[in-house]
Amino acid sequence: MKHLLILLAALTLLSSCNESSKSSGVKTTVKKSQTLSAPYELLLVANKEWLKTVNGEVFMYAVNQDIPGLPQKEPNFRITTINPSAFRGTFTVYANIINVDIDKKYKEAKFVLSRDVYVKPQIILSVQAPNDMALVELVEKNKDRFLDVFINAELERECAFLTSTHSGVAYDAVKKKFGYSIYVPKDIDKVNKESADFLWASANGRNNELNLCVYTYPYTSDSTFTLDYFTHKRDSVMKENVQGEKEGQYMVTERYAISEKHKNGKDGYIYEVRGLWEMENDMMGGPFVSYSQVDTDKHLVVVVEGFVYAPKKEKRELIREMEASLMTLKLK
């Protein structure tokens, strides 16, 4: 069987994941059509009584994790749970499905991935184990990356949508100033600020909910890609360029609420940081996600950031929308 090379490329989960063209533990009647579930919906096929046990609750804790870097708790997915016997009809057209399959016929616990079994696009991750203890041990070992296969799939779907439907204003502005291409939501239709090495664009018609910042600075060493350096640089750039209506109001990073991740992208290494921002001497704030990478031809660090301002609203899908935008950046 093929290992998961695309959606789980960065995961140690790979060592225990296999990919199958067949569904795992669920009956299949293959008919490829468009999925009907909304973004970030997940169907969990599992024995509901088992989920009430101690091991079942441990499993649910891994499945129902909150998205990091938001001002309030929001789960990564809206989860619908059904018993295996109910898996038929409209349930088969979910884009994201986890199937819990505990059976003595299995010699070891493992993840098995199936794609596009009933509809397209679709991901079915079957968690197979000979007993519930083995299943929980497998999930616990990989809980920090357990949902990444579905999160990455959602981001890739959003990237595909942005490729065909995006803001011409933002695309042209970034291309003209930096020579790079990036696809962001078409609602981002206003350039708020430009300077020699900085650009800020926002969704003028949506109360500035979605915002894109792009800036560059000289690359000197890998020490650039640390939280201390990143936060210092970000705060200095934002203080000068993202200011409030009154004097003394400017964007800063909430240092207690940031996290980092090192990953690989189309143009090489990417330093990902996500967390919270606030406006100094004001009540504004919200989440941000940032990608930093090196333009080796120009010897520059290129930073693209999406930040959200949406008071009293859920922000999961807004910040994920901006994260997908960052993934479309092309330096060459």
Q: What is the CATH number of the domain that holds 262?
A: 3.40.1000.10
pLDDT at 222 exceeding the cut of 90? no
Task: Enter the pTM of the model.
Answer: 0.85
Is 222 or 150 the better-scoring residue by pLDDT?
Answer: 150
Number of domains in the chain: 2
Q: How confident is the model at residue 201 (pLDDT cuts 50, 70, 90)?
A: very high
Residue 102, strand partner residues: 129
Same domain, 121 and 137: yes
Per-residue model confidence (pLDDT) at position 145: 83
To the nearest whole percent, how much of the chain has pLDDT over 90? Answer: 77
What's the rounded mean pLDDT across residues 176-196? 95
Task: Select from 158, 178, 207 the last residue of a domain.
Answer: 158
Same domain, 45 and 149: yes
pLDDT at 26 exceeding the cut of 70? no
User: 223: how many CB neighbours lie within 10 A of its CB?
Assistant: 8
- Look at the block and give the residue holding tokens 């640390």: 226
- Look at the block and give the residue holding tokens 């063209």: 21
Per-residue model confidence (pLDDT) at position 265: 83
Task: Select from 142, 158, 174 the last residue of a domain.
Answer: 158
Structural tokens at position 271? 């330093």
Per-residue model confidence (pLDDT) at position 48: 97
Same domain, 174 and 318: yes
Same domain, 264 and 126: no
pLDDT tens-digit readout, 228-254: 999 999 999 999 999 988 999 999 999
CA-CA distance, 111 to 16, in Å (whole number)?
6
Per-residue model confidence (pLDDT) at position 208: 60
Same domain, 209 and 139: no
pLDDT tens-digit readout, 96-125: 999 999 999 999 999 999 999 999 999 999
Q: Torsion angle, CA of 289/8/26/158, rounded to 10 degrees?
A: 40
Burial of 58 (0-12, 13-18, 19+ CB in 10 A): middle
Structural tokens at position 134? 């083995």
User: DSSP letter at 281?
Assistant: T
CA-CA distance, 313 to 129, in Å (whole number)?
40
CA-CA distance, 326 to 89, in Å (whole number)?
36
pLDDT at 88 exceeding the cut of 60? yes
- Identify which of 284, 134, 144 has the alpha carbon closest to the alpha carbon of residue 208: 284
Sheet with 17-20, side-by-side order of all strands: 17-20, 110-115, 123-129, 96-102, 41-45, 78-82
What's the rounded mean pLDDT across residues 162-187? 96
Per-residue model confidence (pLDDT) at position 17: 40
Per-residue model confidence (pLDDT) at position 244: 85
Q: What is the DSSP string of 180-238?
A: -B----TT--EEEEEETTEEEEE-GGGTT-EEEEEEEEE---GGGSSHHHHHHHHHHHH
Domain region containing 216: 166-327
Structural tokens at position 161? 């949508």
Residue 1 in domain = no
What's the rounded mean pLDDT across residues 315-332? 95
Three-class SS state of 8:
coil
Same domain, 173 and 128: no
pLDDT at 307 exceeding the cut of 80? yes
Residue 2 in domain = no
Is 150 or 144 the better-scoring residue by pLDDT?
Answer: 150
pLDDT at 267 exceeding the cut of 70? yes
CA-CA distance, 68 to 167, in Å (whole number)?
27
pLDDT at 332 exceeding the cut of 90? no
Per-residue model confidence (pLDDT) at position 43: 97
Q: How confident is the model at residue 206 (pLDDT cuts 50, 70, 90)?
A: low
Q: How many residues does the chain have?
A: 332
Same domain, 173 and 309: yes
Same domain, 309 and 209: yes
